[in-house]
A and B are shown apart, each in its own frame.
Chain A
């Protein structure tokens, strides 16, 4: 077997050492640092992006928190404003109702007074007409004992009943 022929052992070992150590030198001094460098750069970039993503996420969460707080505050403010408006409205309605009731009462009183006045006027007219009619009847019946004063009293008595 040529593999076991010791003639070329030293030559092979010599060239192996030269080639291997030369390759080791090139790899360790040139290529491996290049690969290592680019991998580190990539890792740094990825880490940077991850940190940025984390920061953006935190900012977004902070914004969301602020938004929710603002929403809660706005809702509370709106509810308070609504409540105030409701209260003002109730006060206004109550005031208007009072005014209306007062007006209605005044109108009612005026109406009643007017009715009373009309009634009294009508009664007065009824009294006068009744008195005139009664006087005419008395004259036609020639009842001399009954004078105008008696008739007036009699009619007053009937009407006041």
Chain B
């Protein structure tokens, strides 16, 4: 049985080095590009012919738009709709990253700390930029909740800062852990197929069920990642 962690190994495809930094195009990069290409192609095909009465294919991007739009409105208010593109892209990027990883011999970049952490970092920086743009110096009040005496500021502010910075960390760990565990489980069970010979049919059936479950998990995790991004965005827009 091969090592179930092997599937997470990053293999360089096109080695690139710039200024001493290795920015090679890897299998992880390939699947990031594929996530973009597939989602863009899907949208391009679905929105090729747009009609007032939508066709089935046109309904898919429209339903996604409405779904994320409502999600953003519910969690961050109508004001946050200005940043809809960002949240929508996060959802699609994570969802397609998760789903593409379910294909055999594919790579799940959302199971990597660097990729998801990078995305969370982008979201965090985005929220900080919005917060500073909107509240100017008042943004620092984010780390000082209302009603707390100023005397407690030296104690509260570091705690709030840690809490604030732990948000992208928790986002990252949640998604990475879910994706990693799901794929390890799939790999381990798949390993039993050959080992059990004819009886291997049982792990095949079991794996089929898990794949369906993993599809659900992939979408659910993308949803959770998006909801939390919306909530963090709401914190940046609104007062503490």
A residues with a Cβ closer than 8 A to B are: 1-5, 7-17, 19-20, 22-24, 26-28, 31-32, 34-39, 41-42, 45
* B29 contacts chain A at the CB level, 8 A cutoff: yes
Dominant secondary structure at the A interface: helix
- Since A3-B8, A15-B23, A19-B32 are in contact, a sample of 18 more A-B pairs with Cβ atoms closer than 8 Å, ordered by chain A residue number, is A2-B8, A3-B114, A11-B10, A11-B24, A12-B26, A12-B112, A12-B114, A13-B114, A13-B118, A15-B25, A15-B32, A16-B114, A23-B40, A23-B89, A23-B92, A31-B61, A38-B47, A41-B52
Please tell me if the beta carbons of B36 and A32 are within 8 angstroms of each other in the complex. Answer: no
CB-CB < 8 A to A22: which residues of B? 36
Please tell me if the beta carbons of A27 and B85 are within 8 angstroms of each other in the complex. Answer: yes
Q: How far is the CB of B130 from chain A (nearest CB, A)?
A: 15
Please tell me if the beta carbons of B119 and A5 are within 8 angstroms of each other in the complex. Answer: no
Distance A114 CA – B109 CA, assembled complex (angstroms) = 139
Residue of A nearest to B61 (CB): A35
* B233 contacts chain A at the CB level, 8 A cutoff: no
Distance A45 CA – B165 CA, assembled complex (angstroms) = 46
Please tell me if the beta carbons of A12 and B88 are within 8 angstroms of each other in the complex. Answer: no
Please tell me if the beta carbons of B88 and A32 are within 8 angstroms of each other in the complex. Answer: yes
**A-B residue pairs in contact (CB < 8 Å), sample of 19:** A2-B5, A2-B8, A3-B111, A11-B22, A11-B23, A11-B28, A12-B109, A13-B114, A19-B32, A23-B39, A23-B40, A23-B93, A28-B89, A31-B47, A31-B61, A35-B62, A38-B47, A38-B50, A45-B52
Distance A22 CA – B29 CA, assembled complex (angstroms) = 13
Please tell me if the beta carbons of B23 and A10 are within 8 angstroms of each other in the complex. Answer: yes
Residue of B nearest to A27 (CB): B89
Distance A151 CA – B92 CA, assembled complex (angstroms) = 153
* B206 contacts chain A at the CB level, 8 A cutoff: no
* B65 contacts chain A at the CB level, 8 A cutoff: yes
Distance A24 CA – B10 CA, assembled complex (angstroms) = 25
Please tell me if the beta carbons of A19 and B93 are within 8 angstroms of each other in the complex. Answer: yes
Q: How far is the CB of A28 from chain B (nearest CB, A)?
A: 4
Cβ 8 A contact of B36, one of A14, A19, A41: A19
- For B8-47 the 0/1 string (1 means CB < 8 A from A) is 1110100000000111111011001101100110011001
Distance A5 CA – B36 CA, assembled complex (angstroms) = 25
Please tell me if the beta carbons of B22 and A8 are within 8 angstroms of each other in the complex. Answer: yes
Distance A3 CA – B113 CA, assembled complex (angstroms) = 6
CB-CB < 8 A to B85: which residues of A? 24, 27-28, 32
Distance A17 CA – B23 CA, assembled complex (angstroms) = 12
- The answer to whether A16 and B36 touch (CB under 8 A), given A3-B112, A8-B22, is no
CB-CB < 8 A to A15: which residues of B? 23, 25-26, 28-29, 32-33
* B161 contacts chain A at the CB level, 8 A cutoff: no
CB-CB < 8 A to B44: which residues of A? 31
Distance A39 CA – B58 CA, assembled complex (angstroms) = 11
Q: How far is the CB of B210 from chain A (nearest CB, A)?
A: 21
* B229 contacts chain A at the CB level, 8 A cutoff: no
Q: How far is the CB of B4 from chain A (nearest CB, A)?
A: 11
Residues of B137-166 contacting chain A, CB below 8 A: none
Distance A3 CA – B175 CA, assembled complex (angstroms) = 13
Residue of B nearest to A6 (CB): B114
